[in-house]
Amino acid sequence: MRILLIILCFYFTSSCNDKVKYENDFVIFKTNPKIENVSFYWKDDNGVILKSIDHLKSKVERDKKILKFAVNGGMFEMTNSPKGLYIENFKILNPIDTLSGKGNFYLNPNGVFYLTKNNDAKLIDTKAFKYDLNIKYATQSGPMLLVNEKINPIFKEDSPNVYIRNGVGILKDGNIVFIMSKRKVNFYNFASVFKELGCTKALYLDGFVSRTYYPEKKWIQKDGDFGVMIGVTEPKK
């Protein structure tokens, strides 16, 4: 009995410490896309690129909604155009990029995060991606952080390549996890957070330019100069 109590104490202490560690070092938002409204944004109703979370918030409020959470949703060109595939409201607004090149976007495997007409969240290797008319939103980025619950083998645990990073993961129940580091972190340690939270797949979205808006946790960043953004909204009461 004494041994069992010691084991339980150790377990709960470790769990609490992990929770504190995550809260101190990462912004973590979990959502069920079947229940909450998850949408991808690039331009406003007049065709002007939104760029910042503040502009996104204003657009959402004009639509009589509340912005519950927002994050930049992938890499972009100097013109604030999406880097690679971008689908919004079932329309392909930017084509998929299957080329090779330099930079994080082209680290293998590259991936596509998308939502279907039925609000199923999917994450897939770009090479395996096949377009169909049921895809409501999609954004392409790279590299994949987790594939089949395993950390991408190109990452090194002791890598000195540290930056602010943000990404998205899919849990076993189909729910989505968005994570942004509050401090600089390497790819391996960033991917480890998704793995420890129970994600089966995860995708890197962007680096030091990343911003997150999560007022419920008192984390409010409304600036930015982005391409795609992902927002979770609810109707104004």
**Residue 101 tokens, joined:** 């090149």
| Banded model confidence at residue 7, pLDDT cuts 50, 70, 90 | very low
> Domain coordinates of the chain in residue numbers?
27-235
* DSSP letter assigned to residue 36: S
Query: How many residues are listed for the chain in this entry?
Result: 237
Reported as a single tens digit per residue, the pLDDT across 23-33 is 689 999 999 99
Q: Strand locations in 11-165, DSSP E?
A: 26-31, 37-41, 65-72, 86-88, 91-94, 111-116, 121-125, 135-141, 144-147, 150-151
User: Which pLDDT score is estimated for 24?
Assistant: 83
DSSP designation for 32: -
Q: State pLDDT tens for residues 66-124.
A: 999 999 999 999 999 999 999 999 999 999 999 999 999 999 999 999 999 999 999 99
| Phi/psi at 119 (5° precision) | 65, 35
Of the candidates 137, 111, 126, the residue with the CA atom closest to the CA atom of residue 203? 111
pLDDT greater than 70 at residue 4: no
CA dihedral 47, 50, 55, 56 (to 10 degrees): 90
Average pLDDT of 213-231?
96
Cα separation of 41 and 215, whole Å?
19
Burial of residue 133 (number of CB atoms within 10 Å: 0-12, 13-18, 19+): exposed
Give the tens place of pLDDT for each residue, 166-196. Answer: 999 999 999 999 999 999 999 999 999 999 9
pLDDT tens for residues 128-166?
A: 999 999 999 999 999 999 999 999 999 999 999 999 999
pLDDT of amino acid 21: 63
Say whether pLDDT at 216 is over 90: yes
